[in-house]
Amino acid sequence: MADMITLTIDGREIVVPPGTKIIEAAGSVGIEIPRFCYHPKLTPVAVCRCCLVEVEKVPKLIPACATPVSAGMVVRTRATSEKVRKAQQGMIEFLLINHPLDCPVCDKGGECPLQDQTLAYGPGGTRFAEKKYHFKKPVPLGPHILIDRERCILCLRCVQFQREIAQHPQISVTYRGRDSFIDTAPGRTLDSNFSGNTVEICPVGALTGRHYRFRARPWEYERKPSICPECACGCNIYTHVRNGEILRVASRENPLVDDGWLCDRGRFSVRPDEPAPPRLTTPLVRINGRLMPVSWDGALEFATSAFRKIAQAPGRPEGVVGAIAGPSTTNEELYLLGRILRTSYSSNNLSFDGGASSALRSAGFAPVGAPDIDWADTILLIASDPSRDLPILDLRIKKAVRKGARLAILGNTSIELASLAASTIQAAGTDLARAIEEIARNVPAQTGQGAFLSSGKRIVVALGETASRDKTAVSEVGKLISALSKDGREVRAGVFAGGTNAAGAVEMGFHPEYLPGLRRIDDVRAKAQVEAVWSASVAAKAGLAGSSLLCSAAHGEVKALYVMGADPASRSLTPEEREGLKRLECLVVTTDRMTKTAEMAHVVFPAAAFWEKTGSLTNVAVRVQRFEAAVPPPPGVKSDVDILVSLAKAGCLPLSKESPADLAEEIARLSEPYARSFSGRTGSPAMSGREG
């Protein structure tokens, strides 16, 4: 390429794009330059001075992290320059003079860049004969993070992360020189929803997470790739597991999903320091009004016969059985439950209890996720608050705005991202649809937000939870999209809403109106495709979901309910909905611990918790991400797939696909995004973004 730059590092000719920093150019050919403050995602601050290199014709050593390459540059690193070698050794010696060297009791010991680079580049001993500087420690910076200021080498990664990436500049350096330390402003706290990332990028043990500190040494645990189940972002993570216990969660960078960052909600969902509620390990059956422990066989038999009695009673119409599934149930579980209900019980009453479904996709809405935000030059958020609902997409939008994308907000203009927006319109409730309609009209009229949006070329429109349930609003968005999709403008519209796997639920056909692969139940040809794969017929009438499902139970129409990983009774229900739950002739609940719904059940199956399952989740951008169990379930507990297979067997149902592989293969035949997830493993197999 003509605009590439050729330079020489340690006698090797290297060709890199302009703007590449020396440290990156060297790294691209495997020449390692020590570093502490440098982080590929942060603006270089060049403060640790450990990456100093010699550049021909430059009198002083210069920081490789902050210096862009130039044509013909001749760089010498420690491999070929004694001056550089001595300087780097000197810098590490400086960093260590006041560092406590309490590695044997430090959380970072064993995964510590200071330890590793001291071994690789540092002096063997110290010549420091003076007293080390002392600080009060540890000091809490926020609800999750503590700081040991003696270990801190003032690399500023945490400060830079909070300022640049999270855009919550809650920590900075205070005081001066050797007296300086990282702190919050007086009376303030580090309560950013991204504070956990600072612990991960800290190159020493200065920042520790309250829930993990002092709990383990890095060599004691196993790192297992997984997916965060806390929201629909689907961040790629590692679980750190020791003796069957997850001790913490760490990032596993996937540029298409998370950029290597995690929000605190996801990261600190694992809290080994807090007592966990007791697990359910035995099936329970209601006998004489009380839930009593029974054997698996007994419970399976009870549930099967109760369901059959209800569904197969003479004269019973279709749809007397229903199912509710909760967030963090896997695609496989949702698919299987949906298939059983439709084929064995002639019911389409499938209700996903984890936020708005992405049914809008079939109405001209494409999935929208991180890559689309990267692509956009203009972003419109309609009644959506990613900072709260999809935190990693909040970071992605901030990144897009930093890179020049323009943000428009329609809805609640007091959300955090509104401060970055170039155009905001306050609207709520019924005003929302009217406001969207007005913007659509303003596109050709070239006024207001319409003009603002239409001056973009690549426009992302994202609807939040409430907006996506408002049919008028959705149809107005459709008009807005067509108004914008003109004059060379491209629009990608989608839903920034729904809980974990909400997109998976609809894709898997766990939906009253949709069969797997977004096939409408009233589309005869689409339905026939599914029936062919299932070798069974499917009821043609759309089913019930959500409130209508419970209300229908209240009227005695729905008589049996299978609740998988959901707890509808814990929500604020209307009296009618509550009556529905009470009137059920048979309520089967699968859960990992006792819930309000389980307390009302006739049968309760002890089910595996999320970390004990193998399967896949579909994120907000309809990216299917597969994962394996991080820990085994406790004895006596089965996964929901296993429970469903056992139920099917007990009921002698025609369920030919029992093994996970067979099941996956069948789903792949019906769902294109699911099939695609087989071509590459979940997310990227890339290691975490942690820098050396």
Partner 1 sequence: MEPVLLKRIDIPGMAEIETAVANGAYANLGKGLGMKPADLLELVKASGLRGRGGAGFPTGAKWGFAAGDPKTPRYLVCNADESEPGTFKDRPILERDPHLLLEAMILSGHAIGAEYGYIYIRGEYADAYRILAKAVEQAYEKGFLGNDIQGSGTRFECVVHRGAGAYICGEETALLESIEGRRGQPRNKPPFPANVGLFGKPTVINNVETLANVPFIVERGAEWFKSMGTEKAAGPKLFCVSGRVNKPGVYELAMGTPLRTLIKDVCGGVPGAKRIKAVIPGGVSAAFLGPEDLDVKLDFESVAAAGSMFGSGGVIVLDEDDCIVSATLNIMRFFKHESCGKCTPCREGTYWLYNALHRIEEGGGRPEDLALLLDIADNISGKSCCPLADGAISCVVSSVKKFRAEYERHIREGGCSFAAREAGAAKA
Interface contacts to partner 1, rule CB under 8 A: 44-50, 52, 59-61, 63, 66, 86-87, 90-91, 93-95, 97-98, 127-131, 133, 153-154, 172-173, 175-180
For partner 1, the closer of residues 136 and 176 by Cβ is 176
Least distance CB 51 / partner 1 (angstroms):
11
Helices (H), 257-414: 264-267, 296-312, 331-345, 370-375, 386-389, 391-402
DSSP single-letter state for residue 691: -
For partner 1, the closer of residues 97 and 668 by Cβ is 97
Least distance CB 498 / partner 1 (angstroms):
41
User: Which of 391, 140, 403 is closest to 263 using CA atoms?
Assistant: 391
CA atoms of 525 and 538, how far apart (whole Å) = 12
For partner 1, the closer of residues 182 and 284 by Cβ is 182
For partner 1, the closer of residues 66 and 526 by Cβ is 66
Least distance CB 162 / partner 1 (angstroms):
15
For partner 1, the closer of residues 90 and 110 by Cβ is 90
Least distance CB 206 / partner 1 (angstroms):
15
Least distance CB 521 / partner 1 (angstroms):
59
Least distance CB 399 / partner 1 (angstroms):
21
Provide the CA 662 distance to its chain's centre, in angstroms.
27
Least distance CB 127 / partner 1 (angstroms):
6
For partner 1, the closer of residues 174 and 414 by Cβ is 174
Give the long-range contacts of residues 628-632, CB within 8 A, separation 24 or more. 628/224, 628/225, 628/226, 630/224, 630/226, 630/239, 630/241, 630/246, 631/239, 631/241, 631/244, 631/245, 631/246, 632/244
CA atoms of 291 and 601, how far apart (whole Å) = 8
Query: Tokens standing for 424?
Result: 């905001």
Provide the CA 447 distance to its chain's centre, in angstroms.
37
For partner 1, the closer of residues 36 and 510 by Cβ is 36
For partner 1, the closer of residues 63 and 260 by Cβ is 63
| Identity of residue 510 | F
Phi then psi for residue 370, to 5 deg, are: -55, -45
CA atoms of 41 and 27, how far apart (whole Å) = 15
For partner 1, the closer of residues 59 and 289 by Cβ is 59
Bridge partners of 68, per DSSP, are 21
Beta carbons within 8 Å of 86's beta carbon, 6+ residues apart: none
DSSP single-letter state for residue 278: P
Helix (H) or strand (E) holding 506: helix 502-507
For partner 1, the closer of residues 315 and 404 by Cβ is 404
Least distance CB 14 / partner 1 (angstroms):
22
Per the listing, tokens 């209300």 go with: 551
User: Which of 630, 567, 560 is closest to 280 using CA atoms?
Assistant: 567
For partner 1, the closer of residues 177 and 315 by Cβ is 177
For partner 1, the closer of residues 163 and 217 by Cβ is 163
Least distance CB 179 / partner 1 (angstroms):
7
Per the listing, tokens 């491209």 go with: 490
Query: Tokens standing for 575?
Result: 């009296």
Using an 8 Å Cβ cutoff, are 273 and 249 in contact?
no
Using an 8 Å Cβ cutoff, are 668 and 531 in contact?
no
- Helix, strand, coil % in the chain, rounded to nearest 5: 35, 20, 45
Least distance CB 87 / partner 1 (angstroms):
6
For partner 1, the closer of residues 133 and 296 by Cβ is 133
Burial of residue 177, with CB atoms counted within 10 A of its CB: 0-12 exposed, 13-18 middle, 19 or more buried: exposed
Least distance CB 131 / partner 1 (angstroms):
7
Query: Tokens standing for 109?
Result: 């010991």
Query: Tokens standing for 405?
Result: 């994308």
Least distance CB 96 / partner 1 (angstroms):
9
CA atoms of 566 and 329, how far apart (whole Å) = 9
Least distance CB 48 / partner 1 (angstroms):
5
Least distance CB 104 / partner 1 (angstroms):
23
Using an 8 Å Cβ cutoff, are 157 and 198 in contact?
yes
Q: How many helices (H) and strands (E) does the chain have?
A: 23, 29
CA atoms of 284 and 303, how far apart (whole Å) = 11
For partner 1, the closer of residues 97 and 366 by Cβ is 97
